[in-house]
């Protein structure tokens, strides 16, 4: 089963990708996480992407497609995968089709702007392993410390209020048109992602097994 998770920043794509990937033994592929890792390791790609991500803009399409092509060649994708946050432009969506990458279903996370703001302003991530928490909704056992690896929890640089605004605007202009694109293919499943994590992930599972 090959899936795309589509939705606004903070809609809960990453949180649910982790849960659904575990449940169905899929590889969870987040271009955002891959880029953040490249920035941390100061690779050439990371150096080029840093300012773009910090400003809330989109990394060039050819960089994203190169990441996806390489990542999908890993053996852990054989049983299926979730593309979390990619494609994010019509060009990326068409390139994925042209490469012959089969997509079975596209989960569209519908979420209100107030919820997005509350989720992103309260998000904390582990500086070492990238695990995601929320100061109210998904607390770590010890404040400021990652449950998984003991790393320090930090605020993502692109979760500053001004950058959130820019990311939302980029989503409206560049990514939202993909809802129509995938609606026409008959693969789109829209879910109400304003709900609690467990309820959202259950709704996705039910939709996938329908």
How many angstroms separate the Cα of 161 from the Cα of each of 112, 156, 168?
16, 11, 11
Q: Which stretch binds ligand AP5 (CB under 6 A): 24-32, 70-78, 94-102, 143-151?
A: 24-32
Among residues 36, 88, 105, 124, the one annotated as catalytic is 88
* SS3 (DSSP) at 46: helix
Q: Which residues contact 130 (CB under 8 A, 6 or more apart)?
A: 33, 36, 37
Nearer to ligand AP5, 56 or 182 (CB): 56
- Main-chain dihedrals φ then ψ at residue 153, nearest 5 degrees: -90, 130
Q: How far is the CB of 53 from ligand AP5 (least distance, A)?
A: 4
- Binding mask 48-77 vs ligand AP5 (x if CB under 6 A, - otherwise)? ----xx--xxxx----x-------------
| Residue 167 is a catalytic residue | yes
Q: Which of 1, 77, 91, 197 binds ligand AP5 (CB under 6 A)?
A: 197
Would you say 76 and 27 are in contact if contact means Cβ atoms under 8 Å apart? yes
CA 180 – CA 33 distance, rounded (Å): 26
- Binding mask 162-191 vs ligand AP5 (x if CB under 6 A, - otherwise)? -----x------------------------
Which structure tokens are listed for 87?
């494609």
Alpha-carbon dihedral sign for residues 71, 75, 78, 80: negative
Q: How far is the CB of 33 from ligand AP5 (least distance, A)?
A: 6
Q: Which residue is nearest to ligand AP5 (CB)?
A: 32
CA 89 – CA 62 distance, rounded (Å): 11
Q: Which residues contact 37 (CB under 8 A, 6 or more apart)?
A: 46, 130
Among residues 71, 119, 123, 124, the one annotated as catalytic is 123
- Within residues 97-156, the interface with ligand AP5 by CB under 6 A covers 119, 123, 132-134, 137-138
Task: Give me the residues that bind ligand AP5 (CB under 6 A), please.
Answer: 7, 9-15, 30-32, 35, 52-53, 56-59, 64, 85-86, 88, 92, 119, 123, 132-134, 137-138, 158, 167, 195-197, 200
Active-site residue set = 13, 88, 123, 156, 167
């Amino acid at each position: 089963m090959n899936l795309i998770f589509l939705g606004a920043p903070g809609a809960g794509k990453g949180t649910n990708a982790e849960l659904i990937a575990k449940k169905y033994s899929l590889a969870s592929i987040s271009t955002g996480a891959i880029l953040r890792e490249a920035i941390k390791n100061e690779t050439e790609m990371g150096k080029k992407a840093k300012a773009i991500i910090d400003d809330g803009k989109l990394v060039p399409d050819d960089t994203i497609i190169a990441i996806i092509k390489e990542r999908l060649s890993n053996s852990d994708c054989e049983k299926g995968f979730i593309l979390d946050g990619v494609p994010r432009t019509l060009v990326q969506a068409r390139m994925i089709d042209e490469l012959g990458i089969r997509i079975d279903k596209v989960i569209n996370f519908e979420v209100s702007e107030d919820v997005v703001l509350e989720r992103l302003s309260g998000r904390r991530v582990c500086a070492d392993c990238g695990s995601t928490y929320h100061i109210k909704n998904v607390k770590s056992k010890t404040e400021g410390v990652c449950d998984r690896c003991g790393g320090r929890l930090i605020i993502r640089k692109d979760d500053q209020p001004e950058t959130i605004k820019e990311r939302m605007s980029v989503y409206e202009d560049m990514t939202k048109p993909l809802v129509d694109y995938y609606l026409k293919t008959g693969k789109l499943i829209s879910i109400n992602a304003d709900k609690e994590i467990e309820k959202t992930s259950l709704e996705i599972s039910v939709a996938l097994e329908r």
